[in-house]
Structure 1
Amino acid sequence: MSQPIDRRADRPVYKQLADDLRRRILAGEFPHGGPLPSEAQLSLEYDAVSRTMVRQGLTLLKNEGLVSSQHGRGWYVRRHREVRRMASTRYQAELDQVARAAETRDSTPFHYDHRDFERFTLDKRGEDVPADAELAEVFDVPEGTVLFRRTFTFHFDGEPHRRSYSYLLRDMFDGTAVLDVANEPWPGGTMAQLDLVGVRVTAVDEIVNARMPTPEESRALQIDDGVPVLAVRRLMYAGERVVEACVDIVIPADRVSLHYRTELSDPRPPA
């Protein structure tokens, strides 16, 4: 139930309206994914405040990521999305797959965090692209070197969850099944693919940045207004050489929890 607007208060009317709607949403009065009253209804409910004030209050909540708008359909409470864990330990688990027979490997490293990741479906595209200045620096090759780019969009329970742009040096895999994305998901993941050509991964860098999604990412991943994405840059090394680069793995920030663990050694000599 709404609380009255205090027109004599120092706090602007639209912020009071947003405060009260926020309270009601968090209290469960309006369910996740459900509609809010129309702007006209809210105007009447909040002591006949103007539609402009109502819209400003709703926009404030939209910028907080609490509500969203649908053109021609009104305002909705953002629906709750399942948060999935991504742990750094998945890389050691992936490398451990290399020693196993292909038919006994997990299909992707996602299995190491969630067994229900086997329910995913994968939109996939592979193509040759020339290395731009950034990728040429990453791989330490001349600009224009041919790379094989794999664009993967992962869907869970029918909904898009994340997208990755993975690059490999094209000449490393000429004549191999790796260049046919129809073979994805590859048993054992990328490290098993690299092992196919005798390359053993020795280290992985992950660099995580937050940013707002591009319009194309918002459409493809069905990202609600006001929600940033995590852009996870992953570089796989064999010794000092980068042999695979994900630039980037793009995940809406309300759908993932990144979990990193670092084993520490005691600097004191043993007694």
Structure 2
Amino acid sequence: MPPLSSGLLGALDPTSDRAVFRQIADQLREAIDTGRFAEGDKLPSETELVGHYGASRMTVRSAISILQGEGLVVAEHGKGVFVRPRPPVRRLASDRFARRHREQGKAAFTAEAEAAGSRPEVDGLVVREEKPSPDIATRLGGVRKVLTRRRRYLLDGRPVEFAISYLPLDLARNTPIAEPNPGPGGIYARLEELGHRLDHFDEEIRARMPTPDEAKTLRLAAGVPVIHLIRTAYDTEGRPVEVCDTLMASDAYVLAYQLPAT
């Protein structure tokens, strides 16, 4: 890391009504955002920051705490504070469920990972029959029993997504969909083989803070929100054939959409 005198960080503004620890956090954040501190870089030590800004150690710690709360940095005991890696995955909504991927034997997550040059993995898979919640039952047209598929997705060993698929039991029972590995192209390929040619998907997306269990499952740093996406798949007859409830680490994804202007 270059010395602070090299211009990595500026000086405090004594005329500002903004608290000193917030000014320090602002400067560190800007240095991270502009790449002066790259992913994985170690930030200046507390001693260096105290010397550079002429601030107290507690003030510097308060500034670092802000960045930790925003999910920008992580502290490693005995080593220092480091800029968190934030590998983006570009999800193309108009492409990720394209039939050509299924015809090539690729599920959506596999196609996304390959496009990003990453290694996909799935773990924690649980497949079982259950009674759906009122919301899921309504989305699936009032079904009373569903087959659920719970799984966690990883890219290059890092958890980025946790998803639960709900399928009407009369469609999925005693089919490859009920197997741990449904086969090439995933469950959408199997649905189409069963005569439910997919027509369109509806998605609802919102951002929120994770619960403690969700943060643990996705190994999220403090301050990192999740993207909560609920997708409903419809066949050409207009029947909802799957609801997928997905949590995504917000720092791992860019949601990109093409929207027609007419």
| 1:75 has 2:81 as partner | yes
Shift of 1:245: 0.4
| Residue 250 of structure 2: aligned partner | 253
Q: 1:22 aligns with which of 29, 33, 40?
A: 29
Structure of larger gyration radius = 1
What does residue 127 of structure 1 align with? 128
Where in structure 2 are the equivalents of 1:63-212 lying within 5 Å?
63-70=69-76, 74-91=80-97, 93-94=98-99, 96=100, 105-110=104-109, 112-113=111-112, 115-116=114-115, 119-123=119-123, 124-141=125-142, 145-181=144-180, 183-184=181-182, 186-212=183-209
> Which of residues 8, 12, 17 in structure 2 aligns to 1:10?
17
- Give TM-score scaled by structure 1 length: 0.80
| Displacement after TM superposition at 1:223 (Å) | 2.0
Question: Partner letter of residue 165 of structure 2?
Answer: S
Contact 2:200 2:234 in 1 (8 A): yes
| Structure 1 residues 23 and 113: alpha-carbon distance in aligned structure 2, compared to 1, 3 A threshold | closer
Give the match's secondary structure for 2:160. strand
> Which amino acid is 1:106 matched to?
G
Report how far residue 20 of structure 1 moved.
2.9
Asked whether 1:242 is paired with 2:240, we answer: yes
Q: Which amino acid aligns with 1:240?
A: G
Greater shift in the superposed pair: 110-119 or 6-15: 110-119
Tell me the percent identity.
33
Distance 1:72 1:137 in 2: 52
Contact 1:211 1:229 in 2 (8 A): yes
Q: Is this contact kept in 1: 2:113–2:119, CA < 8 A?
A: no
Q: Report if aligned partners of 2:89, 2:112 keep a CA contact under 8 Å in 1.
A: no
Kept after mapping to 2: 8 A contact 1:111/1:118: no
SS in 2 for 1:254: helix
Tell me what 1:57 maps to. Answer: 63
Task: Return closer, same or farther for 1:263/1:190 CA change in 2, 3 Å cut-off.
Answer: farther
Q: In 2, distance between residues paired with 1:243 and 1:61?
A: 43
Letter in 2 for 1:146: K
- Taking structure 1 as reference, are residues 243 and 35 closer, same or farther at Cα in structure 2, changes over 3 Å only? same
In structure 1, list runs of 5 or more residues that go unmatched. 266-271
Structure 1's 204 and 8: CA in aligned 2 closer, same or farther, altered over 3 A? Answer: closer
Query: Against the structure 1 CA distance between its residues 56 and 179, is the aligned structure 2 distance closer, same or farther, given a 3 Å change threshold?
Result: same
How many residues matched? 252
Following the alignment from structure 2 to structure 1, what is the Cα–Cα distance between the partners of residues 145 and 140? 11
The answer to whether the Cα contact below 8 Å between 1:14 and 1:53 also exists between their aligned partners in 2 is yes
Mean Cα displacement is larger for which, 79-88 or 229-238? Answer: 79-88
Amino acid at match of 1:261: Q
